[in-house]
Amino acid sequence: MKFFAQIISLSTAVLLLASCNSHPAAKAEPTTAAPAPAAAAPSPVITDTTISKAEHNQLNDIALYLAGMKPDSSVAIPQKLQNLAYYKLYSDSMNRGFNHIEEIRLSKMRDWAKTELADELANPKTVFYPFSGPDILHCVQFFPDADQYIMIALEKYGSLPVMEKMDSTKTIATLNSVQKSLEDIFGKSYFITHKMLRDVSNRWNGVTPVACVFLVRAGYTVLDIKYKHLLDDGKTMTEIPTDSMSKYTNACVEIYFQKKGASKIQKIVYFKTNLCDDPYGGMASFKSNVALQTWLNAMPECYTYVKSASYLMNYGTFETIRNICLKKSKSILQDDTGIALRYLDKSKWSLKFYGNYVKPVSDFSGVDQQELYEVYKKDSANIKPLPFSLGYHWANKNTQNLMKFTRK
């Protein structure tokens, strides 16, 4: 792809971003789902009344600049940085990348959602996106008007750079880092975790800056960013300094944003957390994280979205997060890397399938689902094709699958 080659040649940094799509290999276990933890009283969708008006333009201007788009002013981005010859090349490259995926993927996703997710579009709710990485981009194509998006993955939080304090050298390095982070999204539609784990030193390619780039590219305005900590009671959030995030087990970043021309304020809540029931990467097990379990069990009824999730919820070691998804969801939209079909009580869910189910890519073994093979073979005449490529079989839309489970 010509635009992709240009992106790679333009980027000189070696800083790569990835998604939460890589845990150590585990044996898939056909265990029966255990009862979900008891839920606390449902928490309301929160619209923070303390959203900073003073920082509004500055935050959005930085997001626009990182996205290769023209900032609304020169308050946060000095004119000398906007006028860099390199920035023109960067902007052209980003435009080519986003225009390409808009044509081949994003526009087709939105059109598909108008019919296949009509109920979800008519009744916005919380969207729950476990194993998300910073990928709000694809999520808002399917669910553009949700009240809030709760995202959990292994990626670092990151923060928006203070551009007015940067010289041209640091600015170019920052832009390179952001652009390098997007290579896999432009080419494949998902991030790759091992790349992130290979380089955790650069804060500009974490979830916060990349998510903000995606939001402004998707037509939203970034209003405010807050860094918080969920207390041990699993109910109370308190604000913390950006540079103290690593000191807290359940720190999170909240990104407030708004669709252009709309009055509704929407929110991303992102937790960097191990979702495995076993310890991983120096982090405690999710099974022992009672505070976050309590918070998730108290979230409003949601639509769950899962893609490119390394088949983790196939495994017995991801029982806790799987049970939360099954308990809290009104509907679940996923590819075959999400919840294995054997875990669904068919008497409680209506099932709908799309595309084609083929053997999982060679990176993963022991996650073939014979039940899915049989479903796609038996009901092939009634299974609609997918008009876009999304997920691990990124090179061929005819090998993609999606499935929608709706609670009866």
Q: What is the pTM of this model?
A: 0.86
CB of 18 closer than 8 Å to CB of 192: yes
Sort residue 128 into left (φ over 0), alpha (ψ -120 to 50) or beta.
Answer: beta
Stretch among 155-159, 183-187, 361-365 having the lowest mean pLDDT:
183-187
Q: Return the pLDDT at 177.
A: 85
Q: Return the pLDDT at 35.
A: 39
Q: Return the pLDDT at 389.
A: 84
Residue 405, pLDDT > 90, answer yes
Q: Return the pLDDT at 54.
A: 52
Q: Return the pLDDT at 53.
A: 55
Quick one: pLDDT band at residue 31, thresholds 50, 70, 90? very low
Quick one: pLDDT band at residue 280, thresholds 50, 70, 90? very high
Q: Return the pLDDT at 313.
A: 96
Q: Return the pLDDT at 152.
A: 98
**Cα–Cα distance measured from residue 205 to residue 254, given in angstroms and rounded to the nearest whole number:** 17
- Residue 93 half-sphere exposure toward CB, CA atoms < 13 A: 22
User: How does the average pLDDT of the chain come out, rounded?
Assistant: 84
Per domain, the residue ranges of the chain are 2-407
Q: Return the pLDDT at 394.
A: 65
**Cα–Cα distance measured from residue 221 to residue 30, given in angstroms and rounded to the nearest whole number:** 44
CB of 347 closer than 8 Å to CB of 72: no
The b-or-e profile of 324-340 (16+ CB within 10 A means b, else e) is: bbbebbbbbbbbbbbbb
pLDDT single digits (tens) 248-271? 999 999 999 999 889 999 999 999
Q: Return the pLDDT at 203.
A: 55
Residue 311, pLDDT > 50, answer yes
Stretch among 1-10, 53-62, 85-94 having the lowest mean pLDDT:
1-10
From 212, 175, 167, 213, select the one nearest 11 (Cα to Cα).
175
Q: Return the pLDDT at 27.
A: 42
What residues pair up with 406 in beta bridges, in sequence order?
Answer: 331, 350
* Backbone phi, psi, residue 269, to 5°: -120, 115
Place of tokens 């405010």: 224
Residue 186, pLDDT > 90, answer no
The crossing angle, in degrees rounded to 10, of helices 207-217 and 56-66 is 90
Torsion of CA 68, 74, 75, 81, to 10 degrees: 60
Distance between first and last Cα of the chain: 44
Q: Return the pLDDT at 107.
A: 97
Spatial strand order of the sheet with 349-355 comes to 237-239, 220-230, 251-259, 265-272, 148-153, 126-130, 302-306, 329-334, 401-407, 349-355
Residue 276 in tokens: 């495995």
**Cα–Cα distance measured from residue 290 to residue 282, given in angstroms and rounded to the nearest whole number:** 18
Question: Alpha carbon of 79 to those of 72, 75, 84: distances in Å?
Answer: 11, 9, 9
Stretch among 118-132, 151-165, 340-354 having the lowest mean pLDDT:
151-165
Average pLDDT over residues 85-94: 95
Q: Return the pLDDT at 44.
A: 41
